[in-house]
Structure 1
Amino acid sequence: MGDHPNGVCHMAEGGETIHAWLATTEGKEFLGSVKQLPYLFKVLSIRLALSIQSHPDKALAQKLHHDRPDLYKDPNHKPEIAVALTDFVGMCGFRPVSEISAFCKKFPELGSLLGADICKQLDENADGALKNAYSTLMRADGEAVAEAITAIVSRAPDAGDEAHSLAVELDRQFPGGDVGVLSVFFLNIVHMVPGQCLYLKANTPHAYVSGDIMECMACSDNVIRGGLTPKYKDVEVLLKSLVFESRPASILRPTHVKCGAACEASTYAPDDIDDFEVVKVDAAGEGQLVPSRQCMSMGIIISGKGTINGMSLSQGEVIAIRAGAEISIVPKAGSEMEVFIGACGRNYSD
């Protein structure tokens, strides 16, 4: 849902692209004071793990787009959030160095792949150890990587060793020695239940493994891939771009606001960017009002049926909401509605 050239949506009536519609008088009125939609809004159902990847900050995005417009289609950054609709598993950010060092001892094949000097750096948590170790892994000889993966996944399951179990599953999905399989020993494994939200900042390594999510991001399609994919892997750019810091995944806590006797709106808004925010509305009973946004919003019905601003909608349908308009959500009598709304941040300007 958005007007990026790589994934333009269309209007239900007439079939014109949202990009063309936003250029009309009506579209400009809906868009508001901004020149274009600053966000993309997606529903993802993850059947196979998505690639080990990161997204560039603005400065890097501009350089990549200038140098390789065939790969990097726009000059924008791509921070994003993922709100779980079902139980979710993913990987995000680097583990503590002590955990990576322990894996090298537990799985000698991993330690051998990295080499004794790197393992010593990890064991001592030396300056640059994390960067050196992950760079060595991602640049390792393909045949050596495949041999290490085969040896590791062939080991008997160890109860409680989630990383090993995930490596086995990822090798099943991406057989043949994909180096991304071994990233499970470097990255935090993240679990979320419905309603929880993961915030993915620029230059953060991550991969979605399973589950259903609402995803919202800055209007960009820039992805730097490193593994778990048959697509082009830009390993050197990935390694130059990553922030090599061990830190927990960033779980974004929403603010909750009652918007009626039987309605609650939960807003997921990163505090360091203004390109987007997401509002989750759980509505029951009579009509509920959600505050307006300064630019056009897009709402999708995840469950239930009813009306949004007078338009009848059911599960899976999407509505464009005029800038500045209060959002009236009225479930069908005796039912409930779950609605997600994508919008620009409250302080956004272009």
Structure 2
Amino acid sequence: MSSSVIQLECQCNNYPWGKKGKQSLAAQFAASTPGGHFKLDESKEYAEMWCGTYPTTPSLVLSSGEDLQKHLNANKEKLIGKPILEKFGTDLPYLPKILSIAKALPLQIHPDKDLAARLHKKEPSKFSDENHKPEIAVALSKFEVFVGFKPLLDIQGLFTSIPILKSRFTNESQTHFNAETLKGIVGKILSASDEEIVEVYETLRRTNKGAFGKYTYIPELLPRLAEQYDKSDPGNLVALLTMNFMVLNKGDAIYVPADGIHAYLSGDIVECMARSDNVLNTGFCPRADRDSIETFTSALTFSPASPNEALLSPQPSPKGKHGHTQVLAPPMSEFNMLVTNLGAGEREVLEPLGGPGVMLVTGGKGKMIAEGKERDVREGWVFFVGVGTELEFVGDDDGGLEFHLAFCET
């Protein structure tokens, strides 16, 4: 009979935007697993540690090396539970990750279900599933991110008051911007030649800071982004001129809907998304890696439309019996996330969940008691938690314990 609490061995990938060597929290976490096979190489970038069952980077049962999905398939009613099986099947409907970001990720959207199905049918080797991919990102450190679009009036102000933006990307007679205007502007920027983008970039660099109004960070960030990729990358202009730029602190969270434009810039985060690996990229990447501009712009959603709309606020969770647990509940059915913080010697009891969970220990160390057994837990370790399992935690006397637990209930 399988235990309901299973320690996992998780894998890292090596995208070039990741932090190098032990500077990467994702790599530190992967290397911390006792008896695991991950070997940290100081010469490599480590971008993401995946903690789930998606087949490209699956987690393993630490004690046996068995693929977690195979183990769940063999013990599905005990570990997943009938309600979740009936709604989602045996595949975990969500995928948690640790991301360590040294430079901007590609400017991207994750397609909604209808678009994902069409893309998968047309190009299954590139778009490997038919699912949507709304996601949350929770800061573990200072986290810089571009997400969603600025308020339309603010974008209108920039593109009608700065001469080169008005002449290159707008209809001179248009004074009132709407969603279609914004789609057109984004499309024109993404379609511009390298030479045109460089000319606009250089002109903006020479433009008086006051011309950008309250967005004084635009001229400050222009050279930083250009150094990461190139002056000719259209992502520089789309991100800075049309998107919200946010600087989050540890514990802050955002929600990105399907078709929501975003580009993470720096920091360490816990990310969790619906089970998918589909993405459309159009900037902050080589031209050869960019997807169809028409597909990208036609799919764009205009939510969130301000920084405040992007924020996902934690709420006290009744699942924590001693008041040390909050819940992040995005507007989607695939998962919620519990965040528990314990000081030295503090205790928390989590009531049994109505579906499967994946727990990432993101700080400190302590004890976990489940099924009558006490286990050590410490930063970087990852556990699968089966449906209906009560968990008790005690923070270590030398500094406490923090963990993030993604779970699904009907």
TM, length-normalised to structure 2: 0.77
**CA offsets per residue over residues 298-325 of structure 1, 9 Å max, x none?**
1111111112232212110111111110
Say if 1:154 and 1:172 are closer, same or farther in 2 by CA, change over 3 A: farther
Q: Tell me whether 1:30 sits opposite 2:79 in the alignment.
A: yes
Q: Is the Cα contact below 8 Å between 1:30 and 1:296 reproduced in 2? A: yes
Listed as ranges, the matches of 1:1-350 within 5 Å are 1-25=51-75, 29-33=78-82, 34=85, 35-105=90-160, 107-115=162-170, 117=171, 119-121=172-174, 123-125=175-177, 128-153=180-205, 161-183=216-238, 184-230=240-286, 231-244=289-302, 247-248=305-306, 249-257=309-317, 259=320, 261=322, 264-270=324-330, 272-284=331-343, 285-308=345-368, 309=370, 310-344=374-408, 346-347=409-410
> 2 CA distance for matches of 1:266 and 1:134?
38
The aligned amino acid for 2:328 is Y
Q: Is the Cα contact below 8 Å between 1:227 and 1:233 reproduced in 2? A: no
> 1 CA distance for matches of 2:321 and 2:304?
42
Q: Is the Cα contact below 8 Å between 2:257 and 2:303 reproduced in 1? A: no
**CA offsets per residue over residues 183-216 of structure 1, 9 Å max, x none?**
1101111222222210101111111112221111
> 1 CA distance for matches of 2:317 and 2:133?
28
In the comparison of the two structures, how many residue pairs are matched? 340
Q: Is the Cα contact below 8 Å between 2:321 and 2:350 reproduced in 1? A: no
> 2 CA distance for matches of 1:281 and 1:59?
36
Q: Which runs of 5+ in 2 are unaligned?
A: 1-50
> 1 CA distance for matches of 2:407 and 2:304?
31
The aligned amino acid for 1:203 is D
> 2 CA distance for matches of 1:78 and 1:313?
30
Q: Displacement of 1:105 after TM fit? A: 4.8
Q: Displacement of 1:148 after TM fit? A: 1.6
Q: Displacement of 1:106 after TM fit? A: 5.3
- Secondary structure of the 1:23 match is helix
> 1 CA distance for matches of 2:145 and 2:254?
9
> 1 CA distance for matches of 2:108 and 2:78?
37
The aligned amino acid for 2:156 is S
Q: Is the Cα contact below 8 Å between 1:146 and 1:176 reproduced in 2? A: yes
**CA offsets per residue over residues 268-300 of structure 1, 9 Å max, x none?**
012x31101111001232542112222221111
Q: Is the Cα contact below 8 Å between 1:157 and 1:165 reproduced in 2? A: no
> 2 CA distance for matches of 1:22 and 1:305?
27
Q: Is the Cα contact below 8 Å between 2:358 and 2:383 reproduced in 1? A: yes
RMSD: 2.2
The aligned amino acid for 1:142 is D
Worse overlay, 156-165 or 50-59: 156-165
- Secondary structure of the 2:324 match is strand
> 1 CA distance for matches of 2:139 and 2:201?
30
The aligned amino acid for 1:330 is V
Q: Is the Cα contact below 8 Å between 2:260 and 2:304 reproduced in 1? A: no
Identity %: 29
Worse overlay, 272-281 or 237-246: 237-246
Q: Displacement of 1:244 after TM fit? A: 4.3
> 2 CA distance for matches of 1:94 and 1:286?
42
The aligned amino acid for 1:6 is T
The aligned amino acid for 2:397 is A
Q: Which runs of 5+ in 1 are unaligned?
A: none
The aligned amino acid for 1:236 is E
